[in-house]
A and B are shown apart, each in its own frame.
Chain A
Amino acid sequence: MSETSQKEMTGEKMSVTSVSSANPTSAKAISESDIKALPSHDLIVVGGGPAGLAAAVAAFDAGITDVLILERDNELGGILNQCIHNGFGLHTFKEELTGPEYAERFEKLAEERDIPYQLNTMTLDIVPVDIAGTHAGCIVSAVSKTHGYQQFFAKAVILAMGCRERPRGALNIAGTRPAGVFSAGTAQRFVNLEGEMPGKKVFVLGSGDIGLIMARRMVLEGAEVLGVAEIMPFSGGLKRNIVQCLNDYDIPLFLSHTVVDIRGKERVEGITIAEVDDHMKPIPGTEKSFDVDTLLLSCGLLPENELSSKAGVQLSPATKGAVVDNTLQTSIPGVFACGNVLHVHDLVDYVSQEAKLAGECAAEYLEKGAGAAGASDTEGEARIVTVKPGNGVSYTVPSILHLNALAPTTIIRFRVRAVFKRAAIKVTLNGEELMSKKRPVMAPGEMEQVILAKEKIFSALENTNPQGSESVLEISIEQS
């Protein structure tokens, strides 16, 4: 950090000329007095959606009252604000709420606690800083119209930035580049928040839940939806959405089909779909054309981790989110992650649960110092268990268990690679079976979880690897 930027930061207004934070390597040079000159918070939560709100509330309730939420949109609640359909909160509130209603419950909890937040505020950078060779926290820089460029020092940070949709450019769809191709979530925002219809004759590519829900939404608003194509032989959406969004309105679902052509110069005039083979290659002769003016894309969600990777957080190639331990702490001490930025969820209830854990663990980290979490263990105590996705499992969260920070129960969430019927989830630790749970059906679109008791993990360790520090917990699917 340069001398000039340092002076600017001590004043009330911070200047945008302070660009040094964009370069993490320069942060090493920061002195303790530089850091003390910054407005400081125990905890900064990046993102005010369901994950950020639940995390901030949980940290507050665990005794951390100096919390700041940074939100880039003009209101709290995140993506829930545009998810006006019902079905949220069955696990958390035992009733079916719409997205905005679910968000409001958590906004109220934050407001009751007077947790400060800044809206219209884009977080630009999170830079971990050392004081005298020891990790001290992060400098978080953000910009907004009201406050201009700001820098904060945060002892702990919770990443809750959510995810975004896979765009057309990432899908390799042949054809022209006319207007009328939208991601399903963009269309959802247009219809539900801005009151604008993106088109009148619609086709949907991808059968993720947002695609299914938007198919119904467009019909209810007077559009004609000619079909939904899904490249996989099964839908990525919930059964309930297939029935209530497609079957109710006689919208055909074309499984093992994809869009092979988009026509139109200024505006979409039509699309062509074709059946795909086992290698997802279109089969010639199976093409069907539809005259539509709009194509909606619901082809998967990607955790939004630009800030995390710039900060140096280690990311998982499987989830595209941070690699975390059982306290949801990332590879940077004091930086936690939860919600869709960690891995894409299908139920907001699980986001809230996960975020609560992140908030509580961040509070514990702040109260007990870095020792509360495994990442900064002294070498002798650092006993870890690596969580490995086994047969049929695509990823697990967490992927590391720090034994000294193990709660009475640990939830491991994961997704299966394919549809399994009458199969069992098997959990082993160094080869010894911890548990086996029968499941009538599992699908990649529905997140699975196992709950492991601390005593069970420790007794299995005692049997298999009493001294060693390298243990492996494996979750696999066994077809019976």
Chain B
Amino acid sequence: MAKEIKELTCINCPLGCALEVTLEDGEVTAVSGNTCPRGEAYGKKEVTNPTRIVTSTVRVTGGTRPVVSGKTKEDIPKSAIFDITDALADAQVKAPVNIGDVLVENIAGTGVDFVATAHVSAA
């Protein structure tokens, strides 16, 4: 059986427990170093399915500002971060843009939309 130990820092609180997560054949069999249940849950998720919200900007044409900020509407797999930034580099939207508007649909095939987090009025 392939046994692997991963070391992480828990981010749930300022304590920042040093976690050791034991994986056996891709399954978490033990989490140690945590001082609360949140640490265990974080450790499990972070080694099996780490996800992030990605925030960035998209070019705007005809607006009062050259860019508008946005985010992935939900968590995306951590491994897809750079596919998303690549997709954003080519994206462009027309002003006006409102908070919540979809800037890029199903970004980088993640099934998650990239939505605006700010307003940009038409110039």
Contacts and interface: CB of A to CB of B under 8 A. Distances in A.
Interface string A428-451: 000000000000111100100000
Contact of A84 (B10, B35, B57, B81): B57
B44 interface: no
Central interface residue in B35, B66, B78, B117, by most chain A CB within 10 Å: B117
Contact of B69 (A100, A238, A440): A100
A239 B14 contact: yes
A240 B70 CA distance: 20
Central interface residue in B53, B69, B78, by most chain A CB within 10 Å: B69
Interface of B: 8-11, 13-16, 35, 52-57, 59, 65-67, 69-71, 78, 81, 85, 89, 99, 117-119
Contacts of A446: 14
Contacts of B85: 220-222
A86 interface: yes
A192 interface: yes
A191 B57 CA distance: 8
A286 to B, nearest CB: 25
B65 A193 contact: yes
Given A84-B117, A193-B65, A247-B9, A238 B14 contact: yes
A244 B99 contact: no
B62 to A, nearest CB: 14
Nearest to B59: A195
A407 to B, nearest CB: 28
A248 B9 contact: no
B84 to A, nearest CB: 9
Interface residues of A, number: 31
Nearest to A240: B11
30 contacts: A81-B118, A84-B69, A86-B71, A96-B53, A98-B71, A100-B69, A100-B117, A101-B117, A101-B118, A104-B118, A192-B57, A194-B66, A195-B59, A220-B54, A220-B81, A222-B89, A238-B14, A239-B10, A239-B11, A239-B14, A239-B15, A239-B16, A243-B11, A244-B11, A244-B52, A248-B81, A440-B13, A440-B15, A440-B35, A443-B14
Contacts of B14: 238-239, 441-443, 446
A220 B86 CA distance: 9
Please give me the 3 A-B residue pairs with the lowest Cβ-Cβ distance, nearest first.
A84-B69, A195-B67, A100-B118
A85 interface: yes
Contacts of A271: none
B9 A192 contact: no
Given A98-B117, A239-B16, A244-B11, A86 B55 contact: yes
Central interface residue in A243, A247, A443, by most chain B CB within 10 Å: A243
Nearest to B35: A440
Contacts of A96: 53
A84 B71 CA distance: 8
Given A195-B66, A239-B11, 4 more contacts: A84-B56, A84-B57, A97-B117, A193-B65
A68 interface: no
A297 interface: no
A192 B11 contact: no
A352 B65 CA distance: 27
A242 interface: yes
B35 A98 contact: no
Central interface residue in B15, B52, B71, B118, by most chain A CB within 10 Å: B118
Interface in A69-111: 81, 84-86, 96-98, 100-101, 104
A242 B52 contact: no
Nearest to B85: A220
A84 B78 contact: no
B122 to A, nearest CB: 15
Nearest to A193: B65
A220 to B, nearest CB: 5
Nearest to A191: B57
Contacts of B71: 84, 86, 98
A355 B86 CA distance: 40
B67 A193 contact: yes
Contact of B56 (A100, A220, A440, A441): A220
Given A195-B66, A443-B14, A104 B99 contact: yes
Contact of A100 (B10, B53, B99): B99
B77 to A, nearest CB: 12
A242 B56 contact: no
Nearest to A82: B69
Contacts of B11: 239-240, 243-244
A84 B16 contact: no
Contacts of B9: 239, 242-243, 247
Nearest to A220: B85
A104 B97 CA distance: 14
B53 A86 contact: yes
Contacts of B78: 248
A100 B52 CA distance: 19
B44 to A, nearest CB: 16
Contacts of A221: 56, 85
B19 to A, nearest CB: 11
A193 B56 CA distance: 11
Given A192-B69, A220-B85, A222-B89, A85 B55 contact: yes
Contacts of A248: 52, 78, 81
